[in-house]
Amino acid sequence: MNNEKKGVFISFEGGEGTGKTTQIALLADSLQKKGYEVAVTREPGGTPEAEKIRDLLVQREGGDWTPMAESLLLFAARNMHVKDLIAPALAEGKVVICDRFTDSTRAYQSYGRGLDRNIVEGLNNLSLNGFSPSLTFILDMPVEQGLMRAEKRLADNLSQEDRFERMDVEFHERLRRGYLEIAEQEPGRCHVINAGRSVAEIAEDLERVTLEKLNV
């Protein structure tokens, strides 16, 4: 697993209710219309084994994990996901769009739940050899706004995956700050997108930045 590949690996990041799923679908559609082969996937999950780990981690009844155990499970799932889906798709020259990747572990388990950042980086090196997206969009909006949207989704019964959504507001503030710090540390890879705007405005920004990257 290394970064030498033909395709381009793009990740979407952000707190709860920031609209990643909608924007990923729009970006995938517009790239496909331009002739790109696109694979859309998500974390935790993306392959049968990794989806089993997802259920343990994100569902209400999945268990009460320590941040360390959570991270070990996340990187176990990520290792399978990269080997079985992401790396082969990149080797075929596809644009791979992943809903969350290692920055989520940095934000949620480290900034949010307090796990030492070096442990996350150690697990990243151990299980993925440091494999990383070449472009990451961080969808950013005020925490209350995102949580309101996530709560509505739960109330409409569209999701049982609320283990993290139910953490307190301070937790969500810490991970928002974490994402902004990650973006400052890696400005070449990470683009912070104001997700408080209209769907169309956000989609336009995402498409422009992506096409710049693809045409390099």
Interaction site with ligand TMP (CB under 6 A): 42-44, 58, 74, 99-100, 104-105, 108-109, 161, 164-165
Residue carrying the six token digits 């935790």 = 44
Q: Name the residue nearer to ligand TMP (CB basis): 84 or 211.
A: 84
- CA nearest 143: which of 114, 116, 180, 110? 180
Q: Name the residue nearer to ligand TMP (CB basis): 196 or 211.
A: 196
- How far apart are CB 188 and ligand TMP at their closest, in Å? 22
- How far apart are CB 104 and ligand TMP at their closest, in Å? 3
- CA nearest 207: which of 142, 141, 138, 137? 137
- How far apart are CB 88 and ligand TMP at their closest, in Å? 20
Beta-bridged to residue 95, according to DSSP, are: 8, 38
Q: Name the residue nearer to ligand TMP (CB basis): 118 or 215.
A: 118
What are the distances in angstroms from CA 58 to CA 17, 30, 52, 98, 133? 15, 30, 11, 17, 23
- How far apart are CB 35 and ligand TMP at their closest, in Å? 29
For residue 7, what are its two tokens?
């395709």
Q: Name the residue nearer to ligand TMP (CB basis): 21 or 208.
A: 21
